[in-house]
Amino acid sequence: MLKLDINLLWTVVNVLVMYAVLRKFLFKPVQDVIAKRQQMVDANLADAETSKKEAAETMNAAQEKLRNVDNEAAARREAYEKQAEVEKQQLLADARKQADAIVAAGKASAEAERQSKLREADAQTTALARAMCEKLLARNLTAQGVTLLEGRGTCLGEGRVQVKTADGEHEIQGTDIILSCGSRNAVFPGLAPDGDCVLDSTGLLELDEIPESLIVVGAGAIGLELGHFFGSQGSKVTIVEAAPHVAPLEDTDIADELRKILTKSGKTCLEGVRAQALVTKDGRAELTLADGRVLTAAKALVAVGRTPNSDGLGCEAAGCPLNRRGYVQTDEYLQAAPHVHAIGDINGRVLLAHAVEHQAHYVARRLLGQEDGPYVPGPVPSCYYGLEIMRVGDTAAALLARGKSVSVSQVPLSLNPIAQAGGLTGGFVKAVWDGDRLAGMAAIGHGVSHLVTVAQLLVMQGATPDNLHRIMFAHPTLDEIIPAAIAAKRTPVSA
């Protein structure tokens, strides 16, 4: 038992020694190897982890770079698309402009052709209408026993006239001669129409287009009427008048009202300033005023009065005296020389169409022995149209110049129901009194030209507030403003 135990103990000791030896010489190196390998594995794992991280970072960087590339590509693509769209729209706009220009050019060409044809048709229609009127007039004259010669006539002496026609010269004789040759636009030094930008009334009316601006030199009937017309068509109008006010033949109250109307409608009025020179310069009309101012416009109208067509008429041979302005001087019978009468514009009395007709009737009756008294025109009616002015008889200024006792009675046009209904109530109607005698009437405002004959008859009949009851004026009419003006309170007028 003891021996067994010693053997067992020895065996255990041997095992332990062997284990120690093995552990020292076998297990330890193996453990070291295993430890080293474990370290290597750990190191490799760490390296792998590091590489993995680096790979992940590289991947992330690559992905970021790819995203940046994608974003940059997208931005470039968007910019390109925008630029392409801009260029596309520009190309479309250019194409539209070109198409519009082609269409506009086509329309302009078509419109120009249309306007040309219209002007041609208008000219043909006007020429045809004029020819028809001339033929009708010639036929009527021939039917009444009148011989018509179309040409230029010249007085050769008592009862003798030479007429130059298209088929030669003809000399005719008669007991009496009537001169009725009318007048033409007056021309003054420095203000002569040149047919370019400086025009007379005939040249202005022959324009194919409305000028964008217009200077009117002279604020009489022709200047005011044409200025109003072209202003209503879009021209910027400037009116220049050397006299103290526009419409110099009218009273100042009429002129003041007219100036308000002109200014309100956009026209410029320069009064009391003389036009010194008017020329075409650089394709425009250039007006130099006496005060040094210079005005320019697309066109200019010279409307500074009329001059008689007496030159070349042979007035001296017929014994007819001319005044310094070339008008044929006549006596109270409209006679310029024995058996020679002058009527209308050529005698310079009243330059109105109805005046020559009235004078013609008088001379015809005188030559037929139906009239032996002097010519009495009565209260002469006159009208401006467009901006309407009516006058019959004397102005207050004319009566004052003759030393008369003058007063005026006046009512605004706004009192009239017809003016109220049309909403055109600007202006007034007035009566001019020489003492207690109705010497004239005048009015300014829409439609007042229609009052002229009523006013003329009342002036001729010597109407007063006390005898107006004899006439029944219809209501509502524009006419009923006339008796209101006559019956209104009178205001004395002094020079």
C-alpha to C-alpha distance for 88 and 93, rounded to whole angstroms = 8
What single string gives the DSSP state of each residue in 21-77?
HHIIIIIHHHHHHHHHHHHHHHHHHHHHHHHHHHHHHHHHHHHHHHHHHHHHHHHHH
Model confidence at 450, in pLDDT bands (50, 70, 90)?
very high
The per-residue pLDDT for range 32-74, each reduced to its tens digit, is: 767 777 777 677 777 777 877 877 788 788 788 878 877 887 8
Q: Using a CB cutoff of 8 Å and minimum separation of 24, what contacts does 477-480 make? A: 477/418, 478/416, 478/418, 478/419, 478/447, 478/448, 478/450, 478/451, 479/450, 479/451, 479/454, 480/416
Tokens representing 344 are 């209308």
Q: Is 435 helix (H, G, I), strand (E, B) or coil?
A: coil
pLDDT of 2 over the 70 cut: no
The residue whose two tokens read 């007429």 is: 163
Tokens representing 302 are 């010279």
Q: Is 436 helix (H, G, I), strand (E, B) or coil?
A: coil
The per-residue pLDDT for range 227-240, each reduced to its tens digit, is: 999 999 999 999 99
Better pLDDT: 465 or 92: 465
Better pLDDT: 353 or 55: 353
pLDDT of 23 over the 70 cut: no
The per-residue pLDDT for range 162-196, each reduced to its tens digit, is: 999 999 999 999 999 999 999 999 988 999 999 99
Cβ 315 vs Cβ 340: under 8 Å: no
* pLDDT given for residue 456 in this prediction: 97
The per-residue pLDDT for range 405-429, each reduced to its tens digit, is: 999 999 999 999 999 988 888 999 9
* pLDDT given for residue 479 in this prediction: 95
pTM: 0.74
* 328 secondary structure, DSSP code: B
In 215-280, which ranges are continuous DSSP H helix?
221-232, 252-264
Catalytic annotation, pick one of 245, 341, 354, 475: 475
Tokens representing 97 are 């402009």
For the question of residue 475 being annotated catalytic, the response is: yes
Strands 198-199, 284-289: pairing is unpaired
C-alpha to C-alpha distance for 432 and 254, rounded to whole angstroms = 12
Cβ 429 vs Cβ 410: under 8 Å: yes
Q: Which helix (H) or strand (E) holds 4?
A: helix 2-22
Side-chain half-sphere of 491: how many Cα atoms within 13 Å? 8
Please give the average per-residue pLDDT across 374-391, as a whole number.
Answer: 94
* pLDDT given for residue 165 in this prediction: 92
